[in-house]
Amino acid sequence: MDIYTLSALELGHKIAGREISAPEATQAMLDRITATDQTVKAYLTVVPEQALAQAALIQQRLDNGEQLMPLAGVPMAIKDNISTKGLRTTCGSKMLWDYVPPYNATAADRLLAGGAVLLGKTNLDEFAMGNTTETSYGGITTNPWASDRVPGGSSGGSAAAVAAGEAVYALGSDTGGSIRQPASYCGVTGLKPTYGAVSRFGLVAYGSSLDQIGPLAKTAADCGAILAQIAGPDSKDSTAMPAGRNLDTTALLKSIEPGQSVKGLKIGIPAEYFGEGLQPEVRTAVEAAAAQLAELGATVEPCHLPLVEEGIATYYLIATAEASANLARYDGIQYGFRPTGQAYEDLADFYAQARTEGFGPEVRRRIMLGTFALSSGYYDAYYLKALKVRKLLQQGYREALSRFDLLIGPVAPTTAPKIGTTLSDPLQGYLADIYTVAANLTGLPGLSLPCGFDQIGLPIGVQLIGRAFDEATLVRTGVTYQEATGYHRQSPAL
């Protein structure tokens, strides 16, 4: 048995039972990274010494009988837009290439406090803006299933690392599909939690009203266990505070126990999620997954959702408007990239030089779009309009979820495209987010599960969307499905 093939809960169980030691597990993962990451290039930073030292410390704490989380000692990776104290957090950008945060993100802190072993930081689209991981200043990550294919994005490094066995699990972030879509392309399980379930403190902001941190792992049960550790109120995030609604972690932990059932669950299958441009194999696999759930006892019924196509414009206007302000702080003054040895006319010129050189083309394009949407004379027609359509969309999903426990559909219209084929036409790239952005606009939780392969062997994912803060039902359904199927157990030949 290779350690890197184990799920997080399996490995955690073996570490807790002294079958495998934390340093042994960490060394095995580091060896795997050495063997395969030259091809996959999932990591921007790997910290072998720190990881081994951490593993030794956790082993000692376990040996002392300390009560740690079920995943204590399990080696994992963190997307490089989640702040890690003393460890550079680049956001895949030249702008922050040497930026070392002086503090930990709350989600990272909670995992580390629970006994997680951090292997390194994973690649992403620059500032999480993209769905292929091709816009990173740190280079392209490849899909472990086919090295000429993208891993998806923006959490492409996290998804590829889990698929390649280079991390047992990883944290990602999802603003418009950035956990679910790469999970689908790489054949792993990814969960975008309800907005406000996990603190965003320390997550480098892209679209603040859409961003959520969540897990990518081999199984739905792993995702549930990781989420239980990172979720919960945080006094440092106004949108995840005790005053608001919070996740029921007891119910969530119950949902990962074996022997779950989906009997009696009502699942809606929206016709609009199977429109033009959907790859036939994706359609077939997703429909088969729905049929499988029906066979397991759920009721699956067709339904309708409004504004699925309009969601893209709504999402991009809101996300880029927020991003244009969130990324304004990167100006070469306080930290990060500052051009040297160049003359500048005035302060405005200094800023423009630092920002034009420090950001890549896709980030600059989105800043332009967002600045436009907020600018005088266009605010009402673009930004404000999008905020209103967002309300209509929310009403539509709320209405559907008053009749159904879950909605089911594809994650992405296609399987992973070839490297270098998407960036030439930005709009076409944006349109590929059609099935994922709604969960962010509505704040609802979404789970991406492996559900098959296309003709050339690329993984296909199915998406489940649940009610706000009802991750327990999502995870329970995922666990039940994965007990009945084997897609998530497949791994790429590397």
376 an active-site residue? Answer: no
209 binds other proteins (CB under 8 A): yes
Which one of the listed residues 14, 79, 94, 121 is annotated catalytic? 79
Nearest to 160 by CA among 126, 123, 204: 123
Rounded CA-CA distance 124/60 in Å is 34
Q: What is the footprint of other proteins within residues 52-91 (CB under 8 A)?
A: 82-83, 89, 91
Q: Which is nearer to other proteins, 6 or 307 (CB)?
A: 307
Contact 471, 445 (CB under 8 A): yes
Where residue 184 falls (left for φ over 0; alpha for ψ -120 to 50; beta otherwise) is alpha
Q: Which stretch binds other proteins (CB under 8 A): 116-124, 356-364, 448-456, 473-481?
A: 356-364
93 an active-site residue? Answer: no
Contact 94, 358 (CB under 8 A): yes
Within 13 A of 187's CA, how many CA atoms are on the CB side? 21
Q: Which stretch binds other proteins (CB under 8 A): 70-78, 241-249, 262-270, 292-300?
A: 241-249
Rounded CA-CA distance 372/388 in Å is 18
Four-CA torsion 31, 32, 37, 39, nearest 10 degrees:
120
79 an active-site residue? Answer: yes
291 binds other proteins (CB under 8 A): no
Q: Quick one: 86 exposed, middle or buried, by C-beta within 10 A (0-12, 13-18, 19+)?
A: exposed
Neighbours of 388 (CB within 10 A): 11
381 binds other proteins (CB under 8 A): yes
Q: What is the footprint of other proteins within residues 293-332 (CB under 8 A)?
A: 307, 309-310, 312-314, 316-317, 321-322, 324-325, 328-329, 331-332
Rounded CA-CA distance 134/141 in Å is 7
Residue 446 CB, nearest approach to other proteins (Å): 12
Q: What is the footprint of other proteins within residues 383-422 (CB under 8 A)?
A: 383-392, 394
Residue 362 CB, nearest approach to other proteins (Å): 10
Residue 350 CB, nearest approach to other proteins (Å): 5
Which of 38, 67, 376, 455 is in the footprint of other proteins by CB under 8 A?
Answer: 376
Could you tell me the CA-to-CA distances from 62 to 28, 65, 199 in Å, in that order?
19, 5, 27
Q: Which stretch binds other proteins (CB under 8 A): 161-169, 205-213, 415-423, 480-488?
A: 205-213
Q: Which stretch binds other proteins (CB under 8 A): 42-50, 161-169, 233-241, 481-489?
A: 233-241
356 binds other proteins (CB under 8 A): yes
Q: Which is nearer to other proteins, 23 or 360 (CB)?
A: 360
Contact 304, 270 (CB under 8 A): yes
Q: Which of the residues are catalytic?
A: 79, 154, 178
